[in-house]
Amino acid sequence: MCLGIPGKVVEVSTGTPASWRSSTSRAQHKINIGMLDDPPAPETWVLINMGFALETVDEVAAAEAMSGLEMVGRERDG
Rounded Cα gap, residues 45 and 41, in angstroms: 9
In the chain, beta strands by DSSP E: 5-11, 18-22, 28-31, 45-49, 52-57
End-to-end CA distance of the chain: 28
Indicate the pTM of the whole model: 0.79
Domain boundaries, the chain: 5-72
Rounded Cα gap, residues 78 and 64, in angstroms: 25
Confidence check: pLDDT of 78 > 60: no
Rounded Cα gap, residues 44 and 7, in angstroms: 8
For the domain bounded by 5-72, which CATH number is listed? 2.30.30.140
pLDDT digits (tens, 9 = 90+) for 1-54: 567 889 999 888 877 777 777 765 678 888 899 899 998 999 999 999 999 999
